[in-house]
A and B are shown apart, each in its own frame.
Chain A
Amino acid sequence: MSLKIQTPPPHGGKLVDLVIRDTDKAVNMAAGAVGFDIRPTRSAIDGSPIRNVYREVMSIAYGFFSPLEGFMTRNETESVLKERRLLSGWLFPFPIIFDVTEDELRKLNVKEGDRLLLRLKGQPFAILDIEEVWRFDPRDIADRTFGTPEKNPEVVRRRFDEKHPGWLIYRSMGGVALAGKVHVINEPIFKDPYNRFWYPPAKSREEIQRRGWRTVIAHQTRNVPHTGHEHLMKNAAFMGDIEPCHGILVNAIIGAKRLGDFVDEAILEGHEAVSKYGYISPKRHMVTMTLWDMRYGNPLESLLHGIVRQNMGCTHHMFGRDHAAVGDYYDPYSTQILWERGIPSFGLPAPPYDLDKGLKIRPVNIKEFWYCPKCGEIAYSDTCGHADVAQRFSGSFIRGLIAEGIEPPPIIFRPEVYRVIVKWWRVYNYPFVNRRYLELKERELEVDLKPMEVSSRR
């Protein structure tokens, strides 16, 4: 057997493509369907927009979530909650639910077998073929999605609550689910700067091939990169096969985020600046995005990341400390635990790559990089013997520095990356996500839609 690693197959064996590109066919499919204007999920606590289901429709239809083809039925949701598997048996971490309220259901007056026309920004966008209408308790789904200290003691440290943005998304759902397959019938047009980073799995695989990359390591991000992230990327990429990985694929999660995170535009252009200014050669680096309102589910989120990036054609995935985490709900190394030995209480008795119908992407578990004043350099935590004097990188420390109007020193933040932050700071009068940004983002979204004439009901 060759030691050389090749591009893995998509999760489930085949990339999902549920985008109708023929306008006549799209119009025919939508004819007579019941219309529904997609609206945001708003926080049950303060009414802020915290999710827009259009992002899930896009991620399903363009194959990021392959082999998932639609919104989950009750049985499929139960299967995911019990053993993190779709009914087909393939691993999948989160319930993907198209929710409405009882009031909306009454007005829609739809049932199994009906077709729903989903409108976005007033234009036809997608159709949902209703296979099942089912009801759920949002709080119960939220608890079971993320786990509890009693039921999942390997990784859950404290009970989830409304301060956790992912838990709050499920908690704020409408309680009625419309399950079924979706098709995008009117392809959205991405706005600047998002259009530069839109590489759905089929296109991403083509681009990887075009660049001649045999091995590609994925980097998950919801952050503007500091040099700790850069060292993570550069060093994790040494893990290839007979040579370091040929490419580093940065994949930013774009969607509603928690207050205080960086704005999406700065995240994308900040990573772009890393290669634009040569800190990582553009020959080895590409920045992409996935539409998803982050659930901040640490090990579970890492499983979704593995699926998405395998579908995009990556051979490896780097995972650091506190991966996709917020607060101290999970053990900071929960993701490493999942990818090293599994989490039996989540129905994952072995790591995802050792399970039947699991993943083929290879994890690269990395602890952290810190500045060591004794070594006089940025060092790996397991290699450097000066833990007592080490100065750790802290995203929140850097955000505090930025908020005070102090330019971070180049050893922790590249000046060109900082200037990207300032560019978007001027646009929004604020460097981070705040309520006004969330409302604006919800109104504008990342896309526009072309007008399409469809004879729908309502």
Chain B
Amino acid sequence: MPYKIAVILDKSRIERIRGTPVENEVKDLYGGYLKVIELTVPDEIAQRILKEFPRARIDARGFIEETPVVFKRELFEVIVQLKSTGPEVFSELLKPNRLSRIKEAAAKEDEYLPPPNVAYCG
């Protein structure tokens, strides 16, 4: 069964895909408050992602979630590089060199994630 994975687009990411075929695939979420690209993930790729990243899981919507931040960041980089959201994105993303770089960075994420710069209104 195919699953999905979503990449959230902030302003800078939207700029980077502007004018490419990927721009036509941008989807509004929650009344347009969020922009995302949704990729279809074939079952065997989904199982591979779950195996490589033990914390990743399929949520109630059938989306792969709780992957490391660096995984999503690299996924976006590959989308920009290939100007595509097709299955070739995952072939590139899961190449041994790229994957081991992602896993190395992901291991550090378990200990530290930089907090965003917002004020506490307590």
Q: Is B74 close to A, CB under 8 A?
A: no
Once the chains bind, are B8 and A406 in contact (CB under 8 Å)?
yes
Once the chains bind, are B28 and A426 in contact (CB under 8 Å)?
no
Kindly list chain A residues whose C-beta atoms are within 8 Å of the C-beta of B73.
404
Once the chains bind, are A397 and B30 in contact (CB under 8 Å)?
no
Q: Is B1 close to A, CB under 8 A?
A: no
Chain A positions 390-449 with a Cβ under 8 Å from a chain B Cβ: 391-392, 394-397, 399-401, 403-407, 409-412, 416, 418-420, 422-423, 425-426, 429-431, 434-436
Place the interface of chain A in its size category: 35 or more
Q: Is A144 close to B, CB under 8 A?
A: no
Q: Shortest distance in angstroms between B116's beta carbon and chain A's nearest beta carbon?
A: 5
In this complex, the member of B10, B30, B57, B65 whose beta carbon has the largest number of chain A beta carbons within 10 angstroms is: B30
Kindly list chain B residues whose C-beta atoms are within 8 Å of the C-beta of A435.
110
Cα A376 to Cα B28 with chains together (Å): 12
Once the chains bind, are A422 and B118 in contact (CB under 8 Å)?
yes
Q: Which residue of B lies closest to A373 (CB)?
A: B31
Q: Is B59 close to A, CB under 8 A?
A: yes
Chain B positions 17-61 with a Cβ under 8 Å from a chain A Cβ: 28-31, 33-34, 55, 57-61
Q: Is B69 close to A, CB under 8 A?
A: yes
Cα A412 to Cα B73 with chains together (Å): 23
Contact of B57 among A327, A392, A404 (CB under 8 A): A327
Kindly list chain A residues whose C-beta atoms are within 8 Å of the C-beta of B60.
321-322, 332, 392, 394
Kindly list chain B residues whose C-beta atoms are within 8 Å of the C-beta of A420.
120, 122
Q: Is B72 close to A, CB under 8 A?
A: yes
Given known A-B contacts A394-B59, A396-B65, A422 and B31 have beta carbons under 8 A apart? no
Once the chains bind, are B8 and A401 in contact (CB under 8 Å)?
yes
Once the chains bind, are B115 and A418 in contact (CB under 8 Å)?
no
Q: Which residue of A lies closest to B122 (CB)?
A: A423
Once the chains bind, are B110 and A434 in contact (CB under 8 Å)?
yes
Cα A348 to Cα B65 with chains together (Å): 35
Q: Shortest distance in angstroms between A350's beta carbon and chain B's nearest beta carbon?
A: 28
Q: Shortest distance in angstroms between B13's beta carbon and chain A's nearest beta carbon?
A: 10
Kindly list chain B residues whose C-beta atoms are within 8 Å of the C-beta of A401.
8, 34
Once the chains bind, are A260 and B61 in contact (CB under 8 Å)?
no
Given known A-B contacts A260-B55, A394-B65, A411 and B8 have beta carbons under 8 A apart? no
Kindly list chain A residues whose C-beta atoms are within 8 Å of the C-beta of B55.
259-260
Once the chains bind, are A396 and B33 in contact (CB under 8 Å)?
no
Once the chains bind, are A405 and B65 in contact (CB under 8 Å)?
no
Chain A positions 16-62 with a Cβ under 8 Å from a chain B Cβ: none
Cα A330 to Cα B34 with chains together (Å): 32
Given known A-B contacts A259-B55, A397-B65, A411-B33, A373 and B121 have beta carbons under 8 A apart? no
Once the chains bind, are B33 and A397 in contact (CB under 8 Å)?
no
Q: Shortest distance in angstroms between A282's beta carbon and chain B's nearest beta carbon?
A: 16
Q: Which residue of B lies closest to A258 (CB)?
A: B55
Contact of A416 among B31, B34, B121 (CB under 8 A): B121
Q: Shortest distance in angstroms between B113's beta carbon and chain A's nearest beta carbon?
A: 6
Given known A-B contacts A391-B30, A400-B66, A406-B10, A429 and B61 have beta carbons under 8 A apart? no
Q: Main SS of chain B's interface residues? A: loop
Q: Shortest distance in angstroms between A161's beta carbon and chain B's nearest beta carbon?
A: 13
Q: Is A197 close to B, CB under 8 A?
A: no
Once the chains bind, are B33 and A392 in contact (CB under 8 Å)?
no
Q: Is A371 close to B, CB under 8 A?
A: yes
In this complex, the member of A392, A397, A419 whose beta carbon has the largest number of chain B beta carbons within 10 angstroms is: A397
Once the chains bind, are A403 and B65 in contact (CB under 8 Å)?
no
Kindly list chain A residues whose C-beta atoms are within 8 Å of the C-beta of B66.
260, 396, 399-400
Q: Which residue of B lies closest to A332 (CB)?
A: B60
Once the chains bind, are B31 and A404 in contact (CB under 8 Å)?
no
Cα A426 to Cα B28 with chains together (Å): 31
Cα A412 to Cα B8 with chains together (Å): 15
Kindly list chain B residues whose C-beta atoms are within 8 Å of the C-beta of A395.
59
Kindly list chain B residues whose C-beta atoms are within 8 Å of the C-beta of A376.
31
Once the chains bind, are A396 and B57 in contact (CB under 8 Å)?
yes
Once the chains bind, are B63 and A394 in contact (CB under 8 Å)?
yes
Kindly list chain A residues whose C-beta atoms are within 8 Å of the C-beta of B96.
none
Given known A-B contacts A391-B29, A419-B120, A423-B122, A403 and B113 have beta carbons under 8 A apart? yes
Once the chains bind, are A436 and B111 in contact (CB under 8 Å)?
yes
Q: Shortest distance in angstroms between A385's beta carbon and chain B's nearest beta carbon?
A: 18
Q: Which residue of A lies closest to B65 (CB)?
A: A396
Given known A-B contacts A404-B8, A419-B122, A397 and B63 have beta carbons under 8 A apart? yes
Q: Provide the B87-122 mask, 1 if CB < 8 A to any CB of A, else 0.
A: 000000000000000000000001111111011111
Cα A327 to Cα B56 with chains together (Å): 11
Kindly list chain B residues whose C-beta atoms are within 8 Å of the C-beta of A406.
8, 10
Kindly list chain A residues whose C-beta atoms are within 8 Å of the C-beta of B115.
422, 425-426, 429, 431
Top 8 A-B pairs, shortest CB-CB distance: A409-B33, A396-B65, A425-B115, A423-B120, A396-B59, A394-B59, A405-B116, A411-B30
Instruction: Write 22 A-B pairs (CB below 8 A) sorted by A numbering.
Output: A260-B66, A327-B57, A371-B29, A373-B31, A391-B29, A394-B60, A395-B59, A396-B65, A400-B66, A400-B67, A400-B72, A401-B34, A404-B69, A405-B113, A410-B33, A411-B31, A412-B33, A419-B119, A425-B116, A429-B113, A429-B115, A434-B111
